Amino acid sequence: MTLNDIHLPLISIADLYKTVLIKNDQSNEKKDAVDGKKIKKQIEPAEIKEIGSIHLLGNNKKQIVVIVNYKDAVYLPDDRLAFLTSILTACKLNLDDIALINFSGLPEMGYKDFLKTVPSKSVLFFGVEPKVLSLPLNFPNFQVQPFDGINYLTSPSLDEIEKDKSKKEKLWLSLKKIFNL
C-alpha cells in the first residue's frame, strides 16, 4: 500500500483542517454599507464539538439540529455526509449552520434537557423516531410539526431517501416549508 492508496473519511479531514484551505476572494468580499469599501468576511469551517455529553458536527449557527442513526460511523458514512451536504446546499445552508448528531452516540435524555444543551429552532430526524427524545408527539414522516416554538420533521434514513425519488420530493416540499424556500 502506498500513500496514494490511503483514504480518510470526511470527518477526519475536517478535524485535520480547522481553517479554510483555499480562500475565494470573489465570494468572500462584500461592500461595506457605510463607505462602500470591500471587506472580507471570515469563513469558519464546520467544527466537531462536544456540548455536555453530546458530540456534534457543525457550529449550529442557525440552530438547526439534524439527528441521524449510524452505529458504524462517528456521525455519518462519507457518502451519506455528501448527500446531506447536497440537501443543505439546496436549502441554502451548510454544515456550519447545523448541529449534526448521531443518535447512536447520544446519551439517554428527554427533549427538554436536549434542547437546553443544543438550542434549536428546527429538529430534523433522519431514520430516527422523535420518541428517542421522549417527545410527546406522534406524527408521520414529512409532516412539519411545530411544537413548543420548534419545527420538527421526521423522515426515513438518508439511505432510503437517496434511493427513492418520491421520498426526495416529499422531503424537499417539507424543507421548503421549514426554511421558507
Q: For the segment 86-144, what is each residue's pLDDT rounded down to a tens digit?
A: 999 999 999 999 999 888 766 677 788 888 888 899 999 999 888 888 888 889 999 99
d(CA 11, CA 114): 23
How high is the pLDDT of residue 34? 45
The DSSP secondary structure of 150-164, one letter per residue, reads EEEEEE--HHHHHH-
> In the structure, what pLDDT confidence band is assigned to residue 14 with cuts at 50, 70 and 90?
low
Single pTM value for the model = 0.70
- Nearest Cα residue to 155 out of 174, 142, 172, 164: 142
Mean pLDDT of the residues in the chain: 77
Local confidence band at 85 (pLDDT 50, 70, 90 cut-offs): very high
All three cell numbers of 40, joined, read: 472580507
Least confident residue range of 20-34, 63-77, 91-105:
20-34
Model confidence at 29, pLDDT cuts 50, 70, 90, reads very low
The Cα 172–Cα 38 span in angstroms is 36
The single residue listed with the C-alpha cell 439517554 is 108
**The C-alpha cell of 101 is what?**
448528531
Predicted pLDDT at 76: 85
- Asked whether the beta carbons of 136 and 167 are under 8 A apart, the reply is no
| Distances, alpha carbon 33 to alpha carbons 29, 37, 39, in Å | 12, 8, 10
Task: Please report which helix (H) or strand (E) contains residue 81, including its range.
Answer: helix 78-90
| pLDDT tens-digit series, residues 138-168 | 899 999 999 989 999 999 999 999 999 999 9
In the predicted structure, residue 18 carries a pLDDT above the cut 60: no
